[in-house]
Amino acid sequence: NAGVTQTPKFRVLKTGQSMTLLCAQDMNHEYMYWYRQDPGMGLRLIHYSVGEGTTAKGEVPDGYNVSRLKKQNFLLGLESAAPSQTSVYFCASSESGTQETQYFGPGTRLLVL
């Protein structure tokens, strides 16, 4: 039981490049979330999904897109990376929307030059 895994662990991009971050969970959770964490700050919600085939915007969605084609996977895309998107990205999942316990992946460190 791996829990929540994220790929890649670290990535360097040039401004304007695109990339996709992959999140996978093996707990059969319905709800999945993408957060970003900037140095010395809390997590901010980017997008979330309440089930396979559904996605919705969070607090800071601009510049990101997401897809949830399979229940166990939640993808975060950056179409044209900007230096302001340099951050640590965390994926999380929870059993239901009313479940307060979120299980987090190990994070992806992204540096945009």
Question: Is residue 11 near other proteins by the rule CB under 8 A?
Answer: no
Q: What is the dihedral sign for C-alpha 2, 60, 47, 13?
A: negative
Nearest to 49 by CA among 64, 35, 34, 38: 34
Question: Is residue 2 near other proteins by the rule CB under 8 A?
Answer: no
Nearest to 92 by CA among 44, 53, 54, 20: 44
The nearest distance, CB 41 to other proteins, in angstroms, is: 6
Binder among 11, 45, 52, 65 for other proteins (CB under 8 A): 45
Question: Is residue 100 near other proteins by the rule CB under 8 A?
Answer: yes
Question: Is residue 51 near other proteins by the rule CB under 8 A?
Answer: no
